[in-house]
Structure 1
């Protein structure tokens, strides 16, 4: 089979790698590819990507490289918990993109922008659109601001003590504008130091004012922090897709990654989900369609998670604290079912399981009638919204699974 992959973020690169590994001929296009003396290389990725290793297929655990892996990931809601027995890794972007290129002569990279996605124009059997999505005013988006420092100041962490890896710290940051929208602290070891990132999980607020707010909150949370070697800003829509990846080929074109709805609407994670789904997409390309039960299950999973994202946008800080305190009290397999996978029934069971914590969950559900009505009438975006190109990569954490 001969396919074209258009867009080489992590999802497109994973797809091109796996297709070439099957012996298919793959032409992959991205204007951000690098031309070097060794040939054309995959684009440099600028976001931080984190994944739960148990959500990856075996082949991906061998191909993806990690700059750090922790088995003691903390959450604060505000009570402290450790997400035990779930190793969490931060992707080494440079080493990973080199590994993904090493598949022999079946993969050809092109530093070129593609506007005509028809198979005839590119001389292939099928085109897979991995270019991401267009952000619009009023969309639900994740926004984060982070800094990388060599180590914590001694007033916060002794040089000998390891800096804990934190998945979500929902304790209030304090400082100016600390109320709404709520945000949490994310902490991970990355190349060159430790990333401290203040993240708004999902919001409809515009990006620029929120980045300024997050920078102030991070400074208030970590007073006296000095010696930053890098900064990171994250902003991407979580409620947009071209269409579901599971819908198959239309006019010779399939979709994958963010374009196919593989960005988790309620967390922003996408890298692990793309890795876990890529072989199913390749099988779809071979056979022409997925079984209807698989299509229905994937569609239900997406809609249920989108419903969750809508509720998060309506919640204040104390409400989200209580909700996530209940969520992280669930058995690990229930948490995993909501965070990863394309099984709508398992997502629904996790949502139902939260009913055992009514005092913590009911405030989160108060906007339920309004949210259901808005989703039913399609009123999630203001009329006349303008369009702009948004970042389409995610961290694989809530800056990135």
Structure 2
């Protein structure tokens, strides 16, 4: 046979330990990953598997191999506004973000930012993502073109916001027409997926929100991606505009936007009713601890989410988020949970950053677990990437090493990133 194999310490968490228990963790201290045409065809202990593939070249990878990280909520046009000072969400959008996003009317600018953004994901071990572009059709084209050339699994869709500021708004007809055109243009190409993307409830008219629901219903293969209950000032503004709705989620529900294919970013301040409705609908939440802290929005309530058995993933939410690193984001998720006296196990944090986000994006059959038949996207983690990490992890058990990587690690801990079994990024000495 043709193919390649990698010998390394392998770790993945394909199922939520909240539900599956310790058996969710799969670990081969001396493992072998066999890949053909970018797909995992065998995985197990090196001693058991190596004799079965005598003709396959084997490369030894120094480090801990985990599935490629999957960022469940991130804004590529906000890359150049990361670390913008001084405001909570609504004022931050007006002061820093909307002016920056207007520049994406220029395709060349969008191309340049998309290329940098995707390379930054790969440098941080992230191989798949659900990405907000801008209201401009060409911002989606730029992202998808760059992702196609890198063979990354990216889901995105034109932002809908007919109530946006001048230079950053569409209309009901143009929003529908451009969305339909993008779905036709990119459907079935590479590893790309589409998401109907109303920015948030305040950015669209009732008519556009209803049309977004209709568009979602007409295209059963696409996702719906938006924001929910992120910041108290935002929630108050939504309640003022929609006084007849039971809560923020109910606004989306009335327009047909709460479905099993719906991904809601944040969900920091959920009512019990909304939490149960999310569970009953099959929709899920992308938890974004870095941006929630940076914008003063509070901490996600893992205890409430677990009582409701919510589907969860993890997102960096660049540029309100302050790091592209899903390792760093996992560590912040632990701290956010502990602030509410909940404990996030390091293996569950890895699940949220990989297979959990994959399930949220409905791509769990393709990526997230390094299981047989899945695409061979993975990152090689270096437990000795910094002197402090090396000292903390020396002779430590697996859980301690993983937790140290999440708390002390960042892009420096990524030794290599592989996409479809091929090295897409390698740290230089």
TM-score by length of 2: 0.22
TM-score by length of 1: 0.24
